[in-house]
Structure 1
Amino acid sequence: MTDTIRPRVLIVFGGRSSEHVISCATAAGILRAIDRTRWDVLPLGITEDGEWVRVDDDPTLFEFRDGHGQHIHAGSTRVALTPGAGSLVELTYDRDPADSQARVVSVGDLGRVDVVLPLLHGPYGEDGTIQGLFEMANVAYVGCGVTSSAISMDKHLTKTVLASAGINVGRWELVTRRQWETEADRVLLRLESLGFPVFVKPCRAGSSIGITKVDSAEELPTAIKEAQNHDPRVIVEAGIVGREIECGVLAGRPGNERPTWREATAPLGEITVPEGEFYDYELKYVDAEAVGLLCPANLPAEAEERIRRLALEAFEALECEGLARVDFFYNDESGDVIINEVNTMPGFTPISMYPQMWAVAGVDYPTLLSELLDEALARPKGLR
């Protein structure tokens, strides 16, 4: 631990992905709610160019305002995490560090880090990249490890692993850049076999960015191009009729006994959207008033138990740690339950579904944060 009584928490947010502003909004909620009597907090922002900078500990700087998110900006300083030691240093340059002539004029010691709370959504944060850096630095961190983060971030790999575990994930097709460039006609035939509508998505993105609902074959090339603006790997999913149900999973402290589904999962939440629409970026963050968030969801007891058990099974099949939100489709008539995706760093503002589900279970927002940090500190470092 550090010299202070309270463990030092490095809160990392922003990042290089298209979800930069969502990450900032998540950080605003956590900076406001984290228990300062238990944790010594140091906020660190990552710009969209990947520069690490120390930022003010002021949540109002990072909130959505008038439907617009906030961005991290860099000046003449940069922060680095030292390998092996888990210490932070701040480098001050004599000019813009991007200038090849820039020179370091001073180095400041920001002290050691006890645990990192990485609030990065999408690539270069939720996909195992920064988790690998924390592993190299020998510092504890909240959330999944390198392999689990990488697999869970890639929708195709997630579905492949879950399907191999016998979990229903619906029908889908992967489109790589090479396939699209060299055999587009064959790709289109594969996609048309899914039927319509389909949903064309970047394989490694979230917050519904770059997603298009496609109702005919003629619309596929444009939708694929839009998805490729965010990721060269594209996944195309068959449309599924069902209610959108979400389940929060909280791993708890490392121990010898497997937690029960009642202990590890929260009461379910449900998302409802206007007729004929899907839960896209606009509805999530701009026109959120049009969306219904029901928690707890009104489901038969048998269906709720089945979904919560499946959420824990998916969490374990992907070897997740810490937390995840597992998203499902539930069909009232058939009783079918299909997993849509697994989010290893779900939205975490006070009004996000993940904290709301745990609030219904009696775990308030500050307590939930402390539980995640305590779990990360108790987890062994290195290979496990």
Structure 2
Amino acid sequence: MGKKVRVGLVYGGRSGEHEVSLQTALAVMKAFDYSKYEIKPFYITKEGEWRAGSPLLSPPDQVELLRLAGGDAASGTEALMPVFTGLSDRQAASGGTAPASPEGKPIDVVFPLLHGTFGEDGTIQGMLEMAGIPYVGAGVLASAVGMDKIMMKKVFAQEGLPQCVFRYFNRTQWEKDPAFFIMEIEVALGYPCFVKPANLGSSVGISKARNREELIAAIDYALRFDRKVIVEEFIDAREIEVSVLGNDEPRASVAGEITSSSEFYDYKAKYIDGKSMMHIPANIPSETAEAVREMAIRAFLAIDGSGLSRVDFFLCKSDGRLLINEVNTMPGFTPYSMYPLMWKESGISYIELLDTLIQLAISRHAEKQRIDYGGGSPV
């Protein structure tokens, strides 16, 4: 048997989606083929402290995951993990002295299972780029654009992808002239409308405003979570999603549909009440399904995506128009999440997805090694 691939699994994190990340990590740890992979867990506390567990040679259970996240002496994890220690020995290849894992074994690839701020926004991706370590998922640019709803919509507009009407501003602009933005929103969007923090995942901080009083309250609420706010028109639509997999030549899955248990698909509807319904494949005409897939790939390439993304759309009930909503560069990844379920319906199992994502990460890293970062002399 060949050498096992050593995967550094990073989970937890400082965002409000910490607990979601734990569940994703447990699902991924259980699904890996341990005859092919050795898993090194890296847990990040809510305070941003790194803890490293002993390598996993077999799937953990729920108790083990909690132990791995404990970080005390009894748990067998280091109390504090310096950021780069144990991740890479690539500096040694160029004559430098690189840190190694406590077992003296370098990590081959990192799988960052972090949702939201400080994980899905390009920050950890930048750290891994600096360390020269292959990692699963979108790069720095795509992660940052995928997290910032304002920048994402600007990229979509440049690509010519249809989307809802929106307005945006930052805290300084709002505090300087709130009357101007209220008037602009009322004229361009009307009521009801949706108010969102520009940078946050899993529908945290989102409100539906039905009048001016609710609009002001919603903006103040959104500004608790980010310095920028985006306001979108209300669309009476079905919520259609599609999974994308690949690097420079991505492919799209069958489409799925979410029926929210709430008035809109917020954090509670996604993760707490368990009443939202998933329909895979979505009951939509074949030409609409094909349009969704084509637009999803265009959006993925427009942000320079890699690895995986889930792309969300609105299908207008009145006229059948298809509007792109957003790209999620690190979607929920338990076996019961939309992303893997849409691939399962498309013929790719959860275990096959993990294998593919690892290979895509290694392939992308190898491709980037062809870049001359030294600014050598022209030929």
Q: Same fold (TM over 0.5)?
A: yes
SS of aligned partner of 2:312: strand
Match of 1:189 in 2: 183
SS of aligned partner of 1:5: coil
Alignment partner of 1:206 is 2:224 = no
Q: Which amino acid aligns with 1:251?
A: G
Using the TM superposition, give the Cα deviation of residue 70 of structure 1 relative to its aligned residue in structure 2, in angstroms. Answer: 11
CA distance in 2, matches of 1:71, 1:32: 14
Match of 2:171 in 1: 177
Task: Count matched residues.
Answer: 350
CA distance in 2, matches of 1:168, 1:242: 14
Check the 8 A contact 2:43/2:68 in 1, yes or no.
Answer: no
Check the 8 A contact 2:53/2:68 in 1, yes or no.
Answer: no
Alignment partner of 1:40 is 2:43 = no
Over 3 Å counting, the alpha-carbon distance change for 1:247 and 1:88 in structure 2 is farther
Check the 8 A contact 1:139/1:381 in 2, yes or no.
Answer: no
Q: Can you list the C-alpha shifts for 1:229-288, whole angstroms capped at 9, x where unaligned?
A: 221211111111111000000015x6xxx45xxxx00001100124x7111111111111
* Unmatched runs of 5 consecutive residues or more in structure 1: 64-68, 91-107
Q: Can you list the C-alpha shifts for 1:61-117, whole angstroms capped at 9, x where unaligned?
A: 488xxxxx9994544332431597356657xxxxxxxxxxxxxxxxx4553111011
Over 3 Å counting, the alpha-carbon distance change for 1:110 and 1:126 in structure 2 is farther
Match of 1:99 in 2: none
Q: Which amino acid aligns with 1:286?
A: I
Q: Pairwise mapping of residues 293-312 of structure 1 onto structure 2 (< 5 A)?
A: 293-312=278-297
Check the 8 A contact 1:21/1:71 in 2, yes or no.
Answer: no
Alignment partner of 1:139 is 2:120 = no
Alignment partner of 1:113 is 2:107 = yes
CA distance in 2, matches of 1:19, 1:273: 19
* Structure 1 runs, 4 residues or longer, greater than 6 Å off: none
Alignment partner of 1:51 is 2:46 = no
Q: Can you list the C-alpha shifts for 1:118-160, whole angstroms capped at 9, x where unaligned?
A: 1111121111111111111111001111111111110000000
Using the TM superposition, give the Cα deviation of residue 332 of structure 1 relative to its aligned residue in structure 2, in angstroms. Answer: 4.3
CA distance in 1, matches of 2:70, 2:176: 40
Q: Which amino acid aligns with 1:17?
A: S
Aligned mate of 2:244, from 224, 245, 249: 249
* Unmatched runs of 5 consecutive residues or more in structure 2: 73-78, 91-97, 372-379
Over 3 Å counting, the alpha-carbon distance change for 1:61 and 1:221 in structure 2 is farther
Structure 1-normalised TM-score? 0.85
Aligned mate of 2:145, from 148, 151, 155: 151
Q: Pairwise mapping of residues 199-348 of structure 1 onto structure 2 (< 5 A)?
A: 199-251=194-246, 258=249, 264-274=251-261, 277-288=263-274, 290-348=275-333
SS of aligned partner of 2:48: coil
Match of 1:95 in 2: none
Over 3 Å counting, the alpha-carbon distance change for 1:62 and 1:164 in structure 2 is farther
Check the 8 A contact 2:171/2:228 in 1, yes or no.
Answer: yes
CA distance in 2, matches of 1:88, 1:282: 42
Instruction: Give the aligned CA root-mean-square deviation in angstroms.
Output: 2.4
Check the 8 A contact 1:246/1:269 in 2, yes or no.
Answer: yes
Alignment partner of 1:85 is 2:89 = yes
Q: Pairwise mapping of residues 2-21 of structure 1 onto structure 2 (< 5 A)?
A: 5-21=3-19
CA distance in 1, matches of 2:180, 2:157: 24
Check the 8 A contact 2:100/2:106 in 1, yes or no.
Answer: no
Check the 8 A contact 1:79/1:89 in 2, yes or no.
Answer: no
SS of aligned partner of 2:164: coil
Check the 8 A contact 2:240/2:312 in 1, yes or no.
Answer: yes
Greater Cα offset, 301-310 or 233-242? 233-242
Check the 8 A contact 1:266/1:357 in 2, yes or no.
Answer: yes
